[in-house]
Amino acid sequence: MHRPTAPAGLNRRAGLAALAAMSLSGCSASGLLNTFVPRASYRGRQDIAYGPDPRQKLDTYQPLESRGLAPLVIFFYGGSWTRGDRADYRFVGEALAAHGAVAVLPDYRLSPQVRYPVFLEDSARAVQWAVRHAPELGCDPRKIYLMGHSAGAYNAAMLALDPRWLATVGLAPGQFAGWIGIAGPYDFLPIENPEAQVAFHWPSTPADSQPLAQATAAAPRTLLLAPEKDSLVNPRRSTMALGEKLKSLGVDARWRLLDGVSHITIMASLAKPLSWLSPVRAEVLAFLGLQSPPMS
């Protein structure tokens, strides 16, 4: 269990300001947290096309100084497959680049413009771009990771667990060093969320669209994190169930349910100003081999 203790100083004030703004506006942490991200802490490129559609673009974040070949993380944001913008997650790219990883943050087409499985096909194409450009980004091809939050964690899970999607771009889950899911939905039939119903053709949603159904002993190394109490995604049905199934199959899988955070603030705690809310930042960096493992 984790009980947050905020540090003194600027980080605490910035984090509390972000939390207050989130509470008053009712919006997510993403765009607000970018206010506290110093642009001088990373380098990168924006608006790189990985396909012909306007939504098929990505941004890259790289460390300011080379420390040898870096791990590469492709991060997919959430939003019920109906909303989201990579620019709102600059705090994710900064958090990874500042500690020695290279981050690739793609947009992908959303419902109702498209429906399942098109957003998985887009995600696979973005991964293909990242793998192809790993050498020029200064990355170790043996240390490429998939990562996502909420609906984006679903995308990452399906690419990591179901070989159909990466096969469309000539890749396979076994090529990746691991994947990270934060507050992801991995088993959600029957679908209750109206937006997700549209995105997944409910009630004609195929049973094999669920990551839990795709878990096998061939899955890459796995880190799953979720709030102890999540009003949007059932953490026991998704994070706990998938983590336990993968471990039972012999996969190197770690999962944790964290108190003191919500579906939104668990992702926000990756940002330095809110890292005191939960050990997400430490868990992710340790999984990537960039920091000592946190205490459970």
pLDDT at residue 27 greater than cutoff 60: no
- Whole-prediction pTM: 0.91
Between helix 151-161 and helix 118-133 the angle, nearest 10°, is: 70
Model pLDDT for residues 227-283, shown as the tens digit of each residue: 999 999 999 999 999 999 999 999 999 999 999 999 999 999 999 889 999 999 999
pLDDT at residue 53 greater than cutoff 70: yes
Q: Can you say whether residue 250 is alpha, beta or left, with left for phi > 0 and alpha for psi between -120 and 50 degrees? A: left
Model pLDDT for residues 103-113, shown as the tens digit of each residue: 999 999 999 99
Query: Which CATH code for domain 10-287?
Result: 3.40.50.1820
Residues, the chain, total?
296
Extents of the domains making up the chain: 10-287
**The pair of three-digit structure tokens given for residue 88, joined into one six-digit string:** 């709102």
Which residues 6+ apart lie within 8 Å of 98 measured at CB? 41, 42, 63, 272
State the pLDDT at residue 12: 55
What string of DSSP letters covers the chain?
A: -----PPSSHHHHHHHHHHHHHHHH---SHHHHHTT--GGG-EEEEEEESSSSTT-EEEEEE-SS--SSEEEEEEE--STTT---GGGGHHHHHHHHTTT-EEEEE----TTTS-TTHHHHHHHHHHHHHHHHTTTTTEEEEEEEEEEETHHHHHHHHHHH-HHHHHTTT--GGGSSEEEEES--S--PSP--HHHHHHTTTTS--GGGSHHHH--TTPPPEEEEEESS-SSS-TIIIIIHHHHHHHHTT--EEEEEESS--TTHHHHTTSGGGGGG-THHHHHHHHTTSSPPPP-
**The pair of three-digit structure tokens given for residue 154, joined into one six-digit string:** 């679903």
State the pLDDT at residue 224: 98
Model pLDDT for residues 138-147, shown as the tens digit of each residue: 999 999 999 9
State the pLDDT at residue 37: 67
**The pair of three-digit structure tokens given for residue 77, joined into one six-digit string:** 């944001």
- pLDDT grade for 67, boundaries at 50, 70 and 90: confident
Maximum average pLDDT range among 3-17, 197-211, 265-279: 197-211
Rounded distance, CA 126 to CA 110, Å?
15
Mean pLDDT of all residues belonging to the chain: 90
**Beta pairing class for 253-258 and 222-227:** parallel
- pLDDT grade for 65, boundaries at 50, 70 and 90: confident
- pLDDT grade for 38, boundaries at 50, 70 and 90: low
pLDDT at residue 151 greater than cutoff 70: yes
State the pLDDT at residue 120: 98
CB burial of residue 291 (10 Å; 0-12, 13-18, 19+) = middle
